[in-house]
Structure 1
Amino acid sequence: MDYKELWEPEPGWLNTASYGLPPRPAWEALQAALGDWWVGATSWEPWDESTTRTRESFARLLGADAADVFIGSTVSAALAPVAAALPEGSKVLTDDVEFTSNVFPWKVHEDRGVEVIAVPGAELVAAIRPGIDVVAVSAVQSSTGAVLDLAAVVAASKEIDALVVIDASQGMGWLPLTVDGIDALVVHTYKWLMSPRGATLGYLSRRLQERCRPTAANWYAGDDVHGSYYGDRMVLAEGARRFDQSPSWFCFVGAAPALELVEQIGVETINQHNLALANEFRDGLGLPPSNSAIVSTSLPGADAAFKAAGIRAAVRDGKLRASFHIYSTRDDVHQALAALKPLT
């Protein structure tokens, strides 16, 4: 099957690190749901079936048990119960360019003595020493595209029994990942998983589930969803589902077919495609090859040159950031290099 036919990007889209483009099955599913909403053709339960499908697909992609997966809307809200469970005086280690959705949930507990320690990414593993209680870091850095040495982080954290909390929003969908040795992994699906913004998923290890209080408990987290609408009797679901936030239905309607397509294509296949294009782009700029689908360059004038050529990328931390995904082509690479050629 030629999967590229499932997308219709305008040439020059190199900004998946900002948001991904929906594959045709996701787009059509969302349009059908919106059509039903427009005329009141159905109740909400058929839309909610997509939430279950998304949860199960997410679990399969990570080699996790679906019972250990919860759903929500944002990364920061998903991490809030974990941060709230930290004892007073806990120390949280992170990267000094970490996206703040994985920083602020910890920092708001500074009044309880929680300390966030930020170090350069190259020094992160060495900084995992006794006294660190949590290592909270991204699998792939948003601003630089740097890929975390996750195995080294997990190994060093296990030696001191520190929790490992991973924001995989910039990696899941192209970077092979599992939850082995990880206590929490949270992903917003609107980037590399090509879903509508508003569908977040998270994995919680069993030991972390026991430590955390479901502070956003709601009807959807009830053991019997339909029996949890009213009253003061609360029986929450077993496992990670008790941490569910009430889902944005249409976001998950689009997310389910998108994640299932990633499964169908295969993350390894996507990884090879993305890295081939990213490294061709790097080579054209005189940069060494990398293991990331994100290319960050400080080439002066690059952003203006891209805009003049109709290429859509982003500027992050003062650098041009281009990102390549399954629907990107060599033509996109050549167009981007041609736009930058006068600057090199």
Structure 2
Amino acid sequence: MFIFGLFLMLTWGHMLATDCRTALLFSKTEAYRAIFPHLQHQLYLNHAAVSPLSSRIVRAIQDYLAERSEWDVENYTTRLLPTLHSARQRVASFIHCEPHQLAFVPNTSYALNILAQGLKWQSGDRILLHEREFPANVYPFLNLRKHGIEIDFVSSRQGQILLDDIEAKLTPRTRLVSMSYVQFLTGFRIDLAALAELCHRHGALVSIDAIQALGAMPIDFKRSGIDFLAAGCHKWAMSPMGIGIMVMTDALLEQLETPFVGWLSVEDGWDFFNYGQDLLDDARRHELGTQNWIGLVGLNEAFAMFHELGSETIAEKLLLLSSHLCQRLQEEGFRTAFVAEKQHCSGIVSIQGLDNPSAVQQQLMQAHIEVSTREGLLRVSPHFYNTIDDLEQFLAQLKAIVQPKPIYR
């Protein structure tokens, strides 16, 4: 009897602690809803496409533009360089890389082209990709076929990419494996450390497209063991369009050729006529010229907010939301694109089996609820400031639009 009573006490204690933690988590993120004015007009669940800009970011950009317009017009040293330094430090510490390993780029595609064009290839080398990868992580490598590079594709099983299937596709000539951390279509999240260990054991480098994870799921570049990471910042990273990051290990930095150079690729770009300068010895050599300063100002403010929250808080809230949504969808008779353990889930939940997902999306939009359709799936992607009530509002409207098909077991 005593043991049973102790068991009940421990169980209730665990449940109470979990409930308290959840309440604190929602309380911490709830405060940030005030800086997203779009919430007054719509329910936005489409962060896997593009995120709304917070009022903090808008204000930071407006201040910068006013300064450039009225006061300190050539504010390169007084405003821009400090912003660049701050942004580099904030992003680097958030994803656990060294600042010198990080370069700011226009987008994911640009970064992946730097990798594709910078590696020293030999005819017959092979690259392994996922068969339903976002095109930004495909075309830069397909472009190498003209040099005799072979491209292999690995399939997924019920929305999941299995390490055993990746290993079966690796050959002695596989030089590079390029995957998304989070798949844009299904939301499947791969184990970066396990992927890196597997590929390195077979002599292949690992490149990661992290656009669907940066600002949503924790990234520890150093501990993961991956070699290269690229991510645009206009989705979960909640920054303006046209700004992204590229990160590489020191070993890859030494190995990678520099396919494009500009006046800021060298040690002192302001020593204009000294054409004999060496390139910078870090990732900044790939920042060729004038930056997207509006993008950087916004990114700097976005990552200030992320540091306030912490990557673990953001991820925990998102996984709680996606878990709730998956469970409720199943209860209501809808089918998700994949069912997996928590470590493979993300902020994306995609619904399959709808007869006309585009029509459903349009009707949701008329009800001021924004999601997206991708390849026959209805994709739902809340962010940390969304709530359970938001998801229930979405579900109620979805049920009003479409009658779910029964799930036979």
TM-score scaled by length of structure 1: 0.93
Indicate conservation of the 8 Å contact 1:68/1:205, yes or no: yes
Which residue number corresponds to residue 95 of structure 1? 130
- Give 2:278's aligned residue: 235
Q: CA contact under 8 A between 1:76 and 1:105: conserved in structure 2? A: yes
Tell me the CA shift for residue 150 of structure 1.
1.6
- Report the 3-state secondary structure (helix = DSSP H, G, I; strand = E; otherwise coil) of the residue aligned with 2:174: coil
1:294 aligns to 2:323 (yes or no): no
CA contact (8 A) 1:55 1:201 kept: no
Q: Distance in 1 between matches of 2:386 and 2:284?
A: 36
| Structure showing greater relative contact order (alpha-carbon pairs closer than 8 Å, 6 or more residues apart) | 1
* Matched position secondary structure for 1:264: helix
Letter in structure 2 aligned against 1:150: L
State the SS of the aligned residue for 2:370: coil
1:71-86 paired onto structure 2 within 5 Å: 71-84=104-117, 85-86=119-120
Aligned amino acid, residue 237 of structure 2: L
More helix by share: 2
- Residues 105 and 86 of structure 1: is their aligned pair in 2 closer, same or farther, counting only changes over 3 Å? farther
Superposed displacement of residue 129, structure 1:
4.4
Q: 1:71-114 CA distances to partner (integer Å, 9 max, x unpaired)?
A: 11121211223212241222111111111111111111111111
> Helix, strand or coil for the counterpart of 1:22?
coil
User: Post-superposition shift, 1:240?
Assistant: 1.4
Query: Which residue does the alignment assign to 2:233?
Result: 189
Q: Do the aligned residues in 1 keep the contact of 2:234 with 2:241 (CA within 8 Å)?
A: yes
- Which runs of no fewer than 5 residues in structure 1 stay unpaired? none
Aligned to 1:4: 33
After TM superposition, the runs of 4+ consecutive aligned structure 1 residues lying more than 6 A away are: none
Alignment match, 1:175: 217
**What is the aligned partner in structure 2 of residue 140 from structure 1?**
182
Distance 1:220 1:327 in 2: 38
Aligned mates of 1:144, 1:115 — CA distance in 2: 27
In the alignment, what sits opposite 1:321? 379
> What TM-score does the superposition give when structure 2 sets the normalisation length?
0.79
**Identical pairs, percent:** 28
SS of 1:282's equivalent? helix
Look up the match of 2:314.
Answer: 270
Q: 2:167, 2:313 → 1: CA distance?
A: 29
Q: 1:220 Cα deviation (Å)? A: 2.0
In 2, Cα distance between equivalents of 1:90 and 1:131: 5
Cα distance in 1 between the residues matched to 2:54 and 2:274? 42
Which of 305, 328, 332 does residue 261 from structure 1 map onto?
A: 305
Shift of 1:214: 1.8
Alignment length, in residue pairs?
343
